[in-house]
Structure 1
Amino acid sequence: MTASTFKNLALAFEEVTEQPHFEKTSFRVKKKIIATLDEKTLKASFKLTEIDQSVFCTFKPKQIYPATGAWGRQGWTIFELADLPTEIIQDALTLSYRNVAPKNLASKYEI
């Protein structure tokens, strides 16, 4: 997956905007981050539930893993995008969006 493809997937969700976030790009709904993208390393992070984080990390533990420290314990999960199937990234984006977006927006996206 390329950075451009990732951006297109993230921006397809209703009311998502792209904004700088330190040295990364963030994707937000109602000013809350649903994902970040580090274009240099081609890594993205998503806000997942503890259960979803566990499932994704079990699937590809070398490419999907919790962020370090408290961020990881809060569900932030890093995905190394290069060799992951688009469907996995789309599922993670959808779950992250549903975890962060207001209920009226989140309910429009099912997995």
Structure 2
Amino acid sequence: MITEQRVRALALSFENAEELPHFEKISFRVKKKIFATLNLKENRATLKLSETDQSIFSLYGDKTTVYPVPNKWGKMGWTQFRLDKIEEAFFYDALVAAYCEVAPKILAEKYLNS
């Protein structure tokens, strides 16, 4: 399980990451591009992943733990993570992938090589 506070701390640990509202959710962005949202009501985070990363991360747990958003957004890599069902280390790995998916190459390289 990962808490709202840990999601925030992890997301904001990336260079140039910022937290901004996004409709009724919280978004985390780099250079104005969203790499994650946090839905407090549903205790869920949604991350922007590549198609390959989405298929790999979706193997975790059962089909209600990590899964593509069930519409056209899911086909673009947006993937939902149930925060009450995942471990922090797993979530952080997915968050790195999401950040690197939207961050400028110069920023992403710092996290891909670590």
Q: TM-score, normalised by structure 1?
A: 0.96
- For 2:32 and 2:104, the matched residues in 1 are separated by 11
Equivalent residues in 2 for 1:98-109 (5 A)?
Answer: 98-109=100-111
TM-score by length of 2: 0.93
Deviation track 1:80-108 (CA, whole Å, cap 9, x = no partner) reads: 01121101110111000000000010000
Runs of 5+ consecutive residues of structure 1 not aligned to the other structure:
none
Q: Deviations for 1:26-63, whole angstroms, at most 9, x for unmatched residues?
A: 00000000100001211001111111111111222221
Deviates more, 1:89-98 or 1:55-64: 55-64
1: CA distance between counterparts of 2:28 and 2:90? Answer: 18
Stretches of structure 2 lacking an aligned partner (at least 5 in a row):
none
1:82 has 2:84 as partner: yes
Q: How many residues align?
A: 111
Percent identity for Structure 1 against Structure 2 = 48
Shift of 1:69: 1.2
